[in-house]
Chains A and B, each alone.
Chain A
Amino acid sequence: MFRIIPTQNSDAYMNMALDEACMNAVREKKVKPTVRLFGWNTPSVTIGCFQCVTDEVDMAAIKEDNIPITRRITGGGAVYHDAEITYSVVAPEELFSKNIATSYGQIVKPLMQALNKLGVETRFRALNDVMLGEKKVSGNAQTRKGGVLLQHGTIILSVNEELMFRYLTPDANKNNDKPFIKSNRSAVAGVLREGISSEDVLRAVREELIKTYRAVEQVWSEDELIQARELAKKYASQEWIFLR
């Protein structure tokens, strides 16, 4: 049985810090495996753990617009977090497949089921994308450490391409193996449409997560919050952001 943390918004640094603190708490068996939905206090940018920050983002634009940026501990690409619902799953590795691609698919399944119930027919595309037609509506990223898996990802509600590509500078080759995508600009989409609000999506996804993981609502432990506040300093530090 999992716990589900009440949906809340935090800043980029605390959002990443809470995931890491939760991983530590699950590893030490101080808390149950955990799932949560969350948001961002302000639009923010995260880059993948192994990305070179100056290759992936326009730091001048980010500074000019005062956009929080941090590096995740998970792989994957750079993300502009704006109109989206973000989720995290933290659990002992053995609850999911050892095979990384398979485990991505397992973890996004309830998200896809929730969207499908709303009439948004999605499909999983290995390694880590959920697609609506030929456009990505959910990007997912994972890490594993000490027997604990963290997967977090987005459910994109709507896309502001102008701002996304003001901050992100993806390599021109990123989609050159995907014949249907002429450029990164057309590669992502949101799930909102007439008759489907962001509240509908949030409600459907939350219900599906509770059902899948037989989750009960619980708040963060005091230890997790204390540790997360410390870890947030790392996520805000220039040393961490410019690690690569």
Chain B
Amino acid sequence: MQVATYKIPGGKLVRIKARVEDGRAFGVQISGDFFLAPHEKLVVLEEALEGFSVMDEEAIVEIVEYVLERDSIRVAGFSAQDIAHTMSLLGGSDV
């Protein structure tokens, strides 16, 4: 399991834990002190990121924006770009 932590300037802290295999993320877990409603929907976002290349920021931004809109999920404290950036930091320290 890899972990990446990103304190968004002017925003919240986002931490992503995932297994990274061949550059792709599996078992993605997102945590942090951000706001997201309805709260049960974070898991939907996590599942949507399964198998994405951690360095493909464009694709990650696209899928995050798509899921947020499709499921009417409201967030404050991070953006799709912040998730993509945090994903790109995976491959850092082990948990």
Say yes or no for A76: interface residue by CB 8 A criterion: yes
Say yes or no for B32: interface residue by CB 8 A criterion: yes
Structural contact, B9 and A177, CB atoms closer than 8 A:
yes
Complex alpha-carbon distance, A52 and B16, angstroms: 10
Assuming the contacts A127-B12, A171-B5, A173-B5, asked whether A51 and B32 have C-beta atoms less than 8 A apart, the reply is yes
Structural contact, A50 and B42, CB atoms closer than 8 A:
yes
Question: Most chain-B CB neighbours within 10 Å: which of A75, A78, A175?
Answer: A75
Instruction: For B36, list chain A residues within 8 Å (CB).
Output: 49-50, 75
Chain B residues numbered 25-58 whose CB sits less than 8 Å from any CB in chain A = 29-39, 42
Q: Is the interface of B mostly helix, strand, loop or mixed?
A: strand
A196-212 CB mask vs B (1 if < 8 Å, else 0) is 00000000000000000
How many CB-defined contacts (below 8 Å) exist between A and B?
A: 78
Complex alpha-carbon distance, A49 and B11, angstroms: 17
Instruction: A76-B33, A173-B5 are known; give 7 further A-B pairs, CB within 8 A.
Output: A50-B33, A51-B32, A75-B34, A143-B38, A171-B5, A174-B13, A177-B8
B-side residues, CB < 8 A to A, are 5, 7-13, 15, 17, 29-39, 42, 74, 76-77
A-side residues, CB < 8 A to B, are 48-52, 55, 73-78, 100-101, 126-128, 141-145, 171, 173-177, 244
Structural contact, A55 and B74, CB atoms closer than 8 A:
no
Instruction: For B42, list chain A residues within 8 Å (CB).
Output: 50
